[in-house]
Amino acid sequence: MNSKQLFKKAISIIPGGVNSPVRAFGAVGGTPVCMEKGKGSRLWSVEGREYLDFCGSWGPMILGHAPEKIIQAIERTAKKGTSFGTNTAIEVEYAQTILDCIPSAEKIRVVNSGTEATMTAIRLARGISNKNKIVKFAGNYHGHSDGLLVEAGSGLLTEGKVSSAGVSTSFATETIVCPYNDIKSFSKIMATEGKNIGGVVVEPIAGNMGLIKPKDDFLEKLRELCSRHKAILIFDEVITGFRLAATTFGTICGVTPDLTCLGKIIGGGLPVGAIVGKREFMEKLSPTGDVYQAGTLSGNPLVLAAGLATIQELVGNPPYDKIKRLSSRLKDGVTAFSKKHNLEISVSQKGGMFTIFFRKSAPINLDEARECDTNKFAIYFNGMLKEGIYLPPSQFETNFISASHNEEDIDIFLESLFRVCHKIVNY
């Protein structure tokens, strides 16, 4: 069956034909491409068409698709059995390896997704602080647990929803939403509500309304105010963890949160999440503490084998300088093209993450991100797809460059973008 036939069948038996909403191409139209295999920077559809990939399975594939060392680690481990529901040697090695990379982290709990990690971190924040309210930032996405589905980014933004049916209003009343990069509003919230606020969760670099970088002292000020009001500061580094170096962005920028959530890269392409933090906080988790958390398949050996092999590669043979160089080449190319033709196109880029915004300048918060021309984005996306470039199918996502991309890949991307965007100018 081709992609169209498979999607038609999928729609009849899977809600929307997808197992995660943004994959349905709702924001860009057309039929989602059904992928069959990947290698390095390339994906191949069921039709056998080759695509140059900048979606990277939404972030985990920092080493590219099917890296030899990761596949071997998974195969070696699978031969011994896929799950025991007991302690394993690999979970100890995995935990130690991650903690060695993150100076502020003394203990780690591994879960099965980023959603689980943030949900657990919020519960932990409430358990530690004995305060119930949570602050999140508009356009940040922290997975699909109830209390965090308020003014969320990613698929919710793509679908134009600020919340979700089925989430009790009592959850929403306990979640205070603050504009991203707006420390004045945050200070006001803390001044009036600080005594009730148990946790503050933030993407230290926002990736779910397109890539939006924090303003200079935004994170430092969050740290200062959380400490003053005894609120637990949670960095959601599901995207940024191990992205810019073999550590967290918190480590790189010198701001230490109380808890950090990880996911994506640390599972090497298999389902994972983790919470790390200071010993005293992490020990509040069950069974040492009274904050309950559990998981039948948590710390699954296959996941940890893939994750461990990925982290070892990132530590032993860091690809970060190369990725940054490629990413800057892409940014410079798009920026020069946009300037030359006076286009309303801007680029936000950090390490291997980038978003091309259909707006004169890169946004700094959700209100500005909403000003992007999503019709032009849809034309751009479909044009790039025709050219054989696979991108996340929404304006409000981050694209990823991996260690397996090279200069030629970036130039192919740029040449395609130039061709496609010339058409947009005339649109």
Ligand X SMILES: Cc1ncc(COP(=O)(O)O)c(C=O)c1O
Q: Which of 109, 142, 331, 350 binds ligand X (CB under 6 A)?
A: 142
As measured in angstroms, the least distance from the Cβ of 233 to ligand X is 15
Stretch that binds ligand X, among 38-46, 170-178, 202-210, 406-414 (CB under 6 A): 202-210
Structure tokens at 203: 């993407």
Number of residues that bind ligand X (CB under 6 A): 17
Region 217-246 residues binding ligand X, contact defined as CB under 6 A: 236, 238-239
Phi-psi region of 66 (alpha: psi -120 to 50; beta: other; left: phi over 0): left
The SS3 call for residue 271 is coil
Say whether residue 113 binds ligand X (CB under 6 A): yes
Given a contact cutoff of 8 angstroms between Cβ atoms, the answer to whether 242 and 101 are in contact is: yes
Closest residue to ligand X, judged by C-beta, is: 114
Given a contact cutoff of 8 angstroms between Cβ atoms, the answer to whether 364 and 138 are in contact is: no
Region 49-108 residues binding ligand X, contact defined as CB under 6 A: 58
Considering beta carbons, is residue 143 or 269 the nearer one to ligand X? 143
Query: CA–CA separation, 227 vs 218, rounded Å?
Result: 14
Structure tokens at 254: 């010198």
Stretch that binds ligand X, among 35-43, 139-147, 164-172, 219-227 (CB under 6 A): 139-147
As measured in angstroms, the least distance from the Cβ of 421 to ligand X is 27
Contacts of 28 (CB under 8 A, 6+ apart): 377, 378, 381, 382, 393, 394
Contacts of 330 (CB under 8 A, 6+ apart): 347, 349, 354, 401, 410, 413, 414
Considering beta carbons, is residue 199 or 383 the nearer one to ligand X? 199
Query: CA–CA separation, 301 vs 406, rounded Å?
Result: 32
As measured in angstroms, the least distance from the Cβ of 119 to ligand X is 9
Edge-to-edge strand list for the sheet holding 346-350: 346-350, 353-357, 399-400
Residues annotated as catalytic (active site), given as ranges:
141, 236, 264
As measured in angstroms, the least distance from the Cβ of 279 to ligand X is 24
Region 286-325 residues binding ligand X, contact defined as CB under 6 A: none
Say whether residue 114 binds ligand X (CB under 6 A): yes
Q: Which of 208, 256, 402, 404 binds ligand X (CB under 6 A)?
A: 208
Considering beta carbons, is residue 55 or 424 the nearer one to ligand X? 55
Say whether residue 111 binds ligand X (CB under 6 A): no
Say whether residue 207 binds ligand X (CB under 6 A): yes
Say whether residue 203 binds ligand X (CB under 6 A): yes
Considering beta carbons, is residue 241 or 333 the nearer one to ligand X? 241
As measured in angstroms, the least distance from the Cβ of 141 to ligand X is 5
Residue 287 preceded by cis peptide, ω within 30: yes
Say whether residue 182 binds ligand X (CB under 6 A): no
As measured in angstroms, the least distance from the Cβ of 264 to ligand X is 7
Stretch that binds ligand X, among 110-118, 276-284, 330-338, 405-413 (CB under 6 A): 110-118
As measured in angstroms, the least distance from the Cβ of 179 to ligand X is 17
Considering beta carbons, is residue 57 or 335 the nearer one to ligand X? 57
Contacts of 396 (CB under 8 A, 6+ apart): 139, 153, 154, 157, 158, 208, 209, 210, 369
Structure tokens at 246: 């073999």
- Helix 320-340 with 407-425: angle, nearest 10 deg: 20
The gap between the terminal CA atoms of the chain, to the nearest Å, is 34
Q: Which residues bind ligand X (CB under 6 A)?
A: 58, 113-115, 118, 141-143, 154, 203, 207-208, 236, 238-239, 263, 273
